[in-house]
Amino acid sequence: MNERLEYLLRQGDNALILSQQLSQLCGKGPALEEDMALTNVALDLLGQTRMWLGYAAELAGNGSDEDTLAFLRDAIDLRCCLLVEQPNGNYADTMMRQFYFDTWHYFLMQGLLQSTDPRIAEIAEKSIKEVTYHLRRSGDLIVRLGDGTPESHAKTQAAANALWMYSGEVFIYDAVDLAMVEQGVAPASAPLRAAFLEHVAEIFAEATLAMPDPDAWMQRGGKQGRHSEHLGFILAEMQFLQRAYPGAEW
C-alpha cells in the first residue's frame, strides 16, 4: 500500500465531501449574508480538494486525475472521515460539524506547514489563511448560537452532543498515519488532539455549552473505507453524470 497516496486521499476526500454537503445549501441559508459565507467555505474546500487529489493523481500515476478520483471511486475506496458524511440537519448541526472539522483542520494545517513533503507543505501554505478564517467564523457562530436564545442554545448543545462521537476519528492514528508521522510528513496525534480539545473547550465555555466527554467512544472506520450509510447517497448524486456518460468531456 502506498501510504503517502492513502494520506493524500484522506485529506482530499474530507474536503471533497464536506464541500459537497455545503453546496447542497446554496440559496437555502438562514440569511443572505450567511448564504454567501457558506458558499465561500464550500468554494475554499473545493480548491483544497483539487490540490490534494491533483497530487494524489500524480502519485497514483495510472492516468488518473482529480476528476477520475472524485467521480469514479465508490465508497469502498473513499477515505474521508465519518464526520464530514453526517447530514446537514438544521443549521446548528451544519455549523457544529463545521466547527469540529475546522478546529482539527486548522491545527493539522499548522503542522503540515512543516511537512517534509514539499508538495504537502505547499498545499498547507496555500490553505492556511482560508482554514484560519473558517475556524474563526465557525467558532464565532458557535459562541453566538450557544449564547443566543434558549432555542439556539438547545439546538447547538444537541448538535455538539450528537456529533461528538465523530470528532475523534481523525486523532485515531493507524499504520498510514503513523508512517506519515515517522517520515515527518504529518504531525503526531497527541499534540493535535490536545490542541483540539483545548480550543473546543474554550469556545464551548464562551458559548455556555457543556463540553462532551473527551474519553467518550469515538466512531471510526471512514479513513479505512468503512463509511456511514450517508456516503452512498452523497456519491450517487455527485457522481451521476460521470457514471451515466462514461468517458465524456465536460
Partner 1 sequence: MYAQLVETGLKKVQSFDEMSEQEQAFQARIDAGVKIEAKDWMPDAYRKTLVRQISQHAHSEIVGQLPEGNWVTRAPTLKRKSILLAKIQDEAGHGLYLYSAAETLGVSRDELLAALHAGKAKYSSIFNYPTLSWADMGAIGWLVDGSAIINQIPLCRCSYGPYARAMVRVCKEESFHARQGYDIMMSLCKGSPAQKAMAQDALNRWWWPSLMMFGPSDAESVNSAQSSKWRIKLFSNDELRQRMVDQTVPQIEYLGLTVPDPDLKFDAETGHYTFGEIDWSEFHNVLKGNGPCNRERLQTRVKAWEDGAWFRDALGAYADKQTAKKEIAA
Partner 2 sequence: MSKEWPLWEVFIRSQHGLAHKHVGSLHAPDAEMAVNNARDVYTRRNEGVSIWVVRAADIVASSPLDKGALFEPANSKVYRHPTFFPMPEEVKNL
The residues of the shown chain that bind partner 1, judged by CB under 8 A, are 20, 23-24, 26-36, 39-40, 42-43, 46-47, 49-50, 53, 66-67, 70-71, 90-91, 143-145, 147-149, 151-152, 155, 237-238, 240-242, 245, 248-250
Which is nearer to partner 2, 3 or 206 (by Cβ)? 206
Question: Which does residue 77 bind out of partner 2, partner 1, none, counting CB within 5 to 8 angstroms by kind?
Answer: none
The footprint of partner 2 (CB under 8 A) covers 31-33, 36-37, 40, 43, 47, 130, 133, 137, 140, 144
Question: Cα dist. 43→18, 24, 29, 36, 98 in Å?
Answer: 11, 12, 16, 10, 14
Give the DSSP per-residue string, 186-237. S--HHHHHHHHHHHHHHHHHHTTPPPPPTTS-----GGGT---HHHHHHHHH
Shortest distance, CB of residue 42 to partner 2, whole angstroms? 12
Shortest distance, CB of residue 62 to partner 1, whole angstroms? 19
DSSP 171: G
Closest CA to 153 of 205, 208, 112: 208
Q: Which residues contact 77 (CB under 8 A, 6 or more apart)?
A: 225
Shortest distance, CB of residue 146 to partner 2, whole angstroms? 15
Which is nearer to partner 1, 136 or 226 (by Cβ)? 136
